[in-house]
Amino acid sequence: MATGFFWDERCFWHSGGNYALTLPVGDLVQPLASGGLPESPETKRRLKNLMDVTGLSRDLILRSADSATTQELERVHPRSFLREFKEISDQGGGDMGLRTPFGKGGYEVAALSAGLATEAVRAVLKGEVQNAYALSRPPGHHCLPDWPNGFCLMANIAIAAEAALAENRAKRIAVIDWDVHHGNGTEAIFYDRDDVLTVSLHQEHNYPLDTGDTADRGQDDGLGYNINIPLPPGCGHVAYLDAMSRIVLPALEDFKPDLIVIACGFDAAAFDPLSRMMATADTFRQLTRHVMAAAKRLCDGRLVMVHEGGYSEAYVPFCGHAVLEEMSGSAHVAPDPMADTLAKRQPSARFDAFTHDLIGEMAAFFATPPEKG
């Protein structure tokens, strides 16, 4: 059974405000020559272009999707939030949260982005495809129910998960977030729930500055169903695979999901302007291989990737291509042009030993059931 790829040109037309990286232009902050927020369409468009050039696109089932419906959106976002968002969008755009500018039509593009994720999940659960990739833009994992945050205007994965649960297509869903930034929005939405396991691997205190600690394990029915794996700056290939094998995979085995959804950010890659990590395209390939094997063991291979961050226009396409090669088994490859250089730049054996011990401490912590109180 083939791999689905859900995308829409209209998502590339989402526009942000007058920023230089994450700073509003003005006072002493000059505009960048490249212009605007780092969350630009080019990382995603260049991924799709690379797939077309290598021939990988021909090995996938390419589809678009309808926008998420009002009913689907309201399972996560209050009606008052959606109404305000739509009004501002219709009036020409604005900024409702923290670093979430949008132009006219921003509401419709965000609903389409959520729709791509929702339909990718639905297609996998209906058996139309074995697994799927949603090239969603704008991203979603920072968005709270009533507050956009960190380039994220709607909570794409949460909307897709709630639709799957409401339609009785799944009863237990695991969300693994390997975007370099903490998945605080997804965490908050499911923090008191035991039907959605949320796991976030992220650079410690990158963004947001005040979330993502190991001690935050959920509350009420959700106690023990939220796992944060904060990694120190400088971690690379070895640390990510170590965290996957010693923490993420055991958590999946215990939870036994009906579906695994990955918040698939590529901003832990070595060239990203918003992180200080050293992952490579092969890191993401190997992570994908691990979760595919887990999905095969636990839920008949049902796996969905939803695109989140990643801000290196030159390098993100190779990371995404590696993931899709692995998902589809395609023989159309895009060799990483920086593989040899990044292999030499990986952390030292001493640093890897330090992170191995740190990950071991976290693994032991998560293996102990949290105390209710």
Angle between helices 156-166 and 106-125 (to 10 degrees): 50
Contact between 200 and 182 under an 8 Å Cβ cutoff? The reply is: yes
Cα Rg of the chain (Å, integer) = 19
In DSSP notation, 102-138 reads: EETTHHHHHHHHHHHHHHHHHHHHTTSSSEEEE--SS
Catalytic residue ranges? 142
Per DSSP, the three-state class of 198 is strand
The burial of 83, by beta-carbon neighbours within 10 Å (0-12 exposed, 13-18 middle, 19 or more buried), is given as exposed
* DSSP alpha helix (H) spans, the chain: 42-54, 70-74, 79-90, 106-125, 156-166, 184-189, 237-243, 249-255, 281-299, 316-328, 339-345, 349-367
Give the number of C-alpha atoms closer than 13 A to the C-alpha of residue 279, restricted to the C-beta side: 36
Is the bond preceding residue 273 a cis peptide, omega within 30 degrees? no
Which H or E run contains 19?
Answer: strand 19-20
Which H or E run contains 201?
Answer: strand 196-203
Q: Which residues contact 215 (CB under 8 A, 6 or more apart)?
A: none
